[in-house]
Structure 1
Amino acid sequence: MLCLPGPKYHITFYLLIYFSDFIIIPWLLNLPFTSGSASFREQEKKILDSIIGQGAYDRRIRPSGLNASAEGDGPCIVSINIYLRSISKISDLDMEYSVQITFREEWKDSRLVYRDPSEKIRYLTLTDPDRIWKPDVFFTNEKEGHFHNIIMPNVLLRIGSDGGVLYSIRLSLILSCPMNLKYYPLDKQNCYIKMASYGYTTEDLVFMWKKTDPVQVTKQLHLPTFALADYITEYCTSRTNTGEYSCVQVKLIFRREFSYYLIQIYIPCIMLVIVSWVSFWLDPNAIPARVSLGVTTLLTMATQISGINASLPPVSYIKAIDVWTGVCLFFVFGALLEFALVNYASRSDAHRAARKRRAENQQQQVQQVLGGGGSAFGFTGGGGGGGGGGGLGNMGNPGYGMTGGGMGFPPPPPKWDSNPWEPHQPMPPHPMDPPPATKWEARVDLKPRGFQYSSDNFHSSRASYVMKPVLRGPQPNPPPANNKFHQVEVRTAPYNQNCLTRWFAAFQTRSKRIDVLARILFPLMFSLFNVVYWITYVVILG
């Protein structure tokens, strides 16, 4: 039989039941959660104290190897993984590049194995990585480097239940990169990230690349003048006098972006070469314009070459850019030399024109003499017989008479080595004379051979002017300087001229011919050089 409290306890009993819904039940619900959380962190603390607590762990001793035996425990195997965050600068002059990476190492340490009865602790995270042993890795080609401590040190160390350790740290490094600039700027460069053990030999420590994704690259990696074409993981174990040391490296293959150099170097050089050809279309007498154009392009080209070399290290071999700039400079300098040749030919043409004018004047004088200009020689007309003139006409030869102050000449000239009044006979060929040729010289004596006097034929002192036309073949030797004969050459043009010769004959002066030839040869040779250059460096050696 159920017994209920008396009436005086009814109110107290119901109040306790009422407030228990608001106080006791929530307290009972929160009690297990608070107790479990405290026990979870407490379990972590107990595990850490048990594995790396005071006197439990000595970080000066490396972990045991995987192939332990009676003779030794074998080397500790360290697996390496790299995450490339950025590559900020690749310097050709200093032969170095800057890189920011996340460097990760993984190894097993049997001293750090722990048991979690609840199986809720996947790994332990240490904020102080110096509490345990770490590999003594260093970067062999490092010039400068630093850790990142903003806001907190960018270091991570995790310990798994099986004793596996993950050590990750963010680094910024400046690494050396020896470059081969033989094909610059059409080249590819191989830069390395080398990591090795500083103190442990391969008997104690061995580095291995991680089997899956040993190198990871961020998708936001962009370089101004290079592109990361590929990367290859390699081993570079080295031997010194202190032992053999494990080493791993990753080869980064950079391909130079050619568009920048095409705009900054190649196109300006081509334009300078073309500008230097403008002088071929200028008048040869425009000396100031042609000289200033040639010198300006030459100095601009030299300045361009100096700027290119200032951004490159001095090397002992010829680079592809040296071949290009050297040939462009040669063409610009050749245009300046072409003007010097044109100027010399122009002055030579002027001298030839002056000689031609003098020859034409002499020819006019000859025509005046042959046409009856006897008064020019001091002869005056007089009465006479035969030819109707006086003077020489009284000598008994009507053909030598002078009419109206003129002077007539017989068809055959007199033979001067005998009687001057006998008809001239054809001169026999001399043994030293060359055979007849296709071109002939007409030599005319424009100076009087002297005055001849004959007491038998003249009753008074009268002078006779003598002209002796001579028809001969080409002379083997030029006439002496003191020869009194002024030679006027009449050459017959050959009939087997080709179209190129006839085209060049349309230009009267040699200076004009040189300019026309330069207008053709310079662009043709420069185009041929471009074909050879680009085929060699892009197709064959690319």
Structure 2
Amino acid sequence: LMGLLLHLLMWWTVRAEDVTFVPLTREFLDRLRNETLYNRYATPTQYDGIPTNVSLSMFIEGMSSFSAQTMDYHLDMYFQQEWYDLRLEHNHTAPILVKDKKVFREMWHPDVYFANAKSASFQVVTDDNFLVWVYPDGRVWYDTRISIVVSCNMDLWKYPLDSQQCPLRVLSYAYPESVLRLVWSIKDDFLPVDRNPEITMPDMQLKDIRTGYCNGTYATGVWSCMTAVFYVEREVMHHVMQTYLPTALIVVISWFNFWLDVDSAPARVSLSITTLLTISTQANAVKLALPEVSYMKAIDVWMGSCMAFVFGVMIEFTICHFAKNRELLRCEPQPSLIVDTALSTLFGASRDIDDLNDEDVGISSQENHTALNLLSPERSEPRLRSFSANVNTNESRLVTVDISRRALHWTRALRNLRGRRIAQRIDERCRTIFPVGFLLFNLGYWTFYLLYS
């Protein structure tokens, strides 16, 4: 309501006679319906051989729904057209008000249309939002309220740090420039395209409106065309809070891996996978809100870089785990050596034991050590002496294997300590490399997209 009052006040203050008007008269209707005096299919200057000038102006009441997905925006505006038709001159001191659309259709009026409009409609609540003033000198002023969805080919390579230029093109549909010429209205203290100062949008900010001309030559001739270009900037703070800050925090959380123990493989792997999946989910959510384009957007660079940093954390853990286990693999004995030693130890003694009779040898076990006790010294035959020598040899082999196992244990422990130290040094360096790298990336990212581009 406030916008409507401001709009009417703006035009009523142009001249004093605009405050009053004359109701539609029978004389005026008779003139319109007299085909001899008035031909509504002919332009006002058609028989004079000159084009009819139509002045256009707009008052933008509301603007919203700048959609990157559908590449369009919504306008709610008052659209004014003004021209001279000397056939409608009258003797009244005030303009005649026409509020009946049937009467208006009996008058000649420009057939302008919006070339890049997806859809448009007249406001009809609570009544048809239009009026026509016919001044005594034949000047006709036509005002109507229109809701329109306008197409805008947005360049999204800087999204969501972008600014857009969205034109609204107005043309005549049937009349070339030689018959009808469109011009922007020029009046003192009034802009041809003005706006409601209270216009606010959740994701965009209207910075400026500029008017221009876009006359084009076609096969049927030259057609008059006018443009109103809306310069808008995207509100960055919304995307900072919804996209940039959460993803940056996820990258920081992934760095907790560098403070976890090298042996905490389940914890480190689960943290890396969780952060990577979270980044992927947010990237998909952003992708669904945008159209499919053939170039890389600023948000794609950000999401891809954050995903690369998180993936780098997983690569770092893999390197640490490999460096730690590589030292252990170096000290592992050959499997064939272990099998041969065990077999020679066990079966070498068994063959000698099998050669003895039960009456000659008694076997007892004490403190986990196997001893062979002969029944009497007198029965020391050569076969028994040979068996005793074999037992002594096997005992020496057992001692050698035990020493080898202890050496292997200490070697493994030392190499494990060395591997852990290497992995810890990698973690310590990454605690600095990753934050500094992410900081440098942010510095380059924001500098490029906000300043140099």
TM bucket, shorter chain? 0.7 to 0.9
**Which position in structure 2 is the counterpart of 1:293?**
271
Deviation at 1:88, TM superposition (A): 2.4
Structure with the larger RCO, 1 or 2 (CA within 8 Å, 6+ apart): 2
Cα deviation digits, residues 327-378 of structure 1 (max 9, x gap)? 11100000011111111111124346779xxxxxxxxxxxxxxxxxxxxxxx
Contact 1:89 1:97 in 2 (8 A): yes
Aligned to 2:160: 185
- SS of equivalent residue, structure 1 residue 509: helix
User: 2:89, 2:272 → 1: CA distance?
Assistant: 82
Task: Give the equivalent residue in structure 1 for 2:174.
Answer: 199
Aligned-partner SS, 2:423: helix
Q: Are 1:153 and 2:128 an aligned pair?
A: yes
1:42 and 1:253, CA in 2 relative to 1: closer, same or farther beyond 3 A? closer
Contact 1:507 1:513 in 2 (8 A): no
Distance in 1, Cα, partners of 2:95 & 2:186: 23
**Which residue in the other structure is 1:528 paired with?**
440
Residue 64 (structure 1) aligned with residue 42 (structure 2): no
Query: CA–CA distance in 1 between the matches of 2:440 and 2:29?
Result: 80
Determine the C-alpha separation between the residues in 2 that align with 1:41 and 1:81.
22
8 Å Cα contact 2:213/2:226 also seen in 1 = yes
Q: Is the 2:32–2:38 contact (alpha carbons within 8 Å) kept by the matching residues of 1? A: yes
Matching residue of 1:84 = 60
CA contact (8 A) 1:51 1:113 kept: no
Q: Tell me by how many angstroms 1:43 deviates.
A: 9.5
SS in 2 for 1:312: coil
Give the 3-state SS of the residue equivalent to 2:276 in structure 1: helix
Aligned to 1:373: none
Q: Residue 143 of structure 1 corresponds to which residue in structure 2? A: 118
Partner secondary structure for residue 216 of structure 1: strand
State the match for 1:337 in structure 2: 315
SS of 1:86 mapped into structure 2? strand
The aligned counterpart of 1:239 is: 217
Letter of the structure 2 residue corresponding to residue 51 of structure 1: R
Measured in 1, the distance between the counterparts of 2:104 and 2:26 equals 18
Q: Distance in 1 between matches of 2:430 and 2:22?
A: 93
- Residue 48 of structure 1 corresponds to 28
Distance 1:109 1:73 in 2: 14
Displacement of 1:135: 0.4
Residue 300 of structure 1 aligns to a residue whose secondary structure is helix
Aligned equivalents of 2:439, 2:331: Cα separation in 1: 37
Per the alignment, residue 98 of structure 2 pairs with 125
- The Cα of 1:507 is off from its aligned counterpart by 10
> Counterparts in 2 of 1:206-217, with a 5 A limit?
206-212=181-187, 213-217=191-195
The reply on whether 1:264 has 2:242 as its aligned counterpart is: yes
For 2:300 and 2:133, the matched residues in 1 are separated by 54
CA contact (8 A) 1:305 1:325 kept: yes
**Deviation by residue 1:294-317 (Cα, 9 ceiling, x = unmatched):** 000011111111111110111111
Which digits, 9 at most, give the CA deviation of each residue in 1:191-222, with x for residues without a partner?
A: 11111011100110000001131011012211
Q: What does the per-residue CA deviation read over 1:238-270, in whole Å, with 9 as the maximum and x for residues that have no partner?
A: 111111110111000010000000001110111
- Note the residue ranges of structure 1 that are not aligned, 5 or more in a row: 1-39, 356-505
**Structure 2 CA distance, aligned partners of 1:224 and 1:44?**
44
Q: Report the residue type matching 2:194 in the other structure.
A: Q
Cα separation, 2, equivalents of 1:230 and 1:62: 35
CA distance in 2, matches of 1:313, 1:253: 21
Please give the alpha-carbon distance, in whole angstroms, between the structure 2 residues aligned to 1:225 and 1:170. Answer: 25
Instruction: Report 1:388-467 matches (<5 A).
Output: none
2:150 aligned counterpart, secondary structure:
strand
Closer, same or farther: CA 298–508 of 1 in aligned 2, 3 Å: closer
8 Å CA contact 1:51, 1:114 repeated in 2: no
Q: Residue 44 of structure 1: CA displacement?
A: 5.9
AA of the residue aligned to 1:178: N
The 3-state SS of whatever aligns with 1:85 is: strand
> Do 1:75 and 1:202's aligned partners in 2 also have CA atoms closer than 8 Å?
yes
CA shift, 1:126, in A, is 4.5
AA paired with 1:57? Y
Query: Kindly tell me: are residues 289 and 103 of structure 1, through their superposed partners in 2, closer, same or farther at Cα, counting changes over 3 Å?
Result: same
Residue aligning to 1:537: 449
Q: Call closer, same or farther: CA 1:42–1:354 in 2, change over 3 Å.
A: closer
Cα deviation for residue 124 of structure 1 reads 4.0
* Conservation of the 8 A alpha-carbon contact between 1:298 and 1:329: yes
Q: Deviations over 1:266-296 (max 9, x none)?
A: 1011101101110110001001100000000
In 1, Cα distance between equivalents of 2:322 and 2:24: 98
1:108 alignment counterpart: 84
Q: Give a deviation string over 1:371-426, Cα, whole Å, max 9, x none.
A: xxxxxxxxxxxxxxxxxxxxxxxxxxxxxxxxxxxxxxxxxxxxxxxxxxxxxxxx
1:533/1:48 Cα in 2 relative to 1: closer, same or farther (>3 Å)? Answer: same
Q: Which residue is equivalent to 1:346?
A: 324
The one-letter code of the counterpart of 1:537 is Y
User: Letter of the aligned partner of 2:127 in structure 1?
Assistant: M
CA distance in 2 between partners of 1:115 and 1:181 (Å):
57
Q: Retained in 2: the 8 A contact 1:63–1:111? A: yes
**Amino acid aligned to 1:188:** S
Q: Which residue of 1 aligns with 2:431?
A: 519
| Aligned amino acid, residue 68 of structure 2 | D
Query: For the Cα contact (< 8 Å) 2:75–2:147, is it kept in 1?
Result: yes
Corresponding residue for 1:305? 283
Give the aligned partner of residue 94 of structure 1. 70
| Residue identity matched to 2:254 | S
- Which AA in structure 2 matches 1:169? T
Contact map agreement 1:129 1:156 (CA 8 A) in 2: no
* Partners of 2:55 and 2:134 in 1: CA distance: 15
Residue 132 of structure 1 aligns to a residue whose secondary structure is coil
How far has the Cα of 1:158 moved from its partner? Answer: 0.9
Q: Which residue matches 1:374?
A: none
Structure 2 distance, partners of 1:312, 1:238, is 32
Q: How far apart are residue 153 of structure 1 and its match?
A: 1.1
- Secondary structure of the 1:206 match is strand
Question: What is the Cα deviation at residue 539 of structure 1?
Answer: 1.7
Q: Does 1:327 align with 2:305?
A: yes
- Paired-residue identity, %: 35
Question: Which whole-Å CA distance do the structure 1 matches of 2:266 and 2:106 have between them?
Answer: 82
Amino acid at match of 2:291: P
2:216 maps to 1:254? no
Distance in 2 (CA, whole Å) between partners of 1:242 and 1:290 is 71
Aligned residue type for 1:227: Q
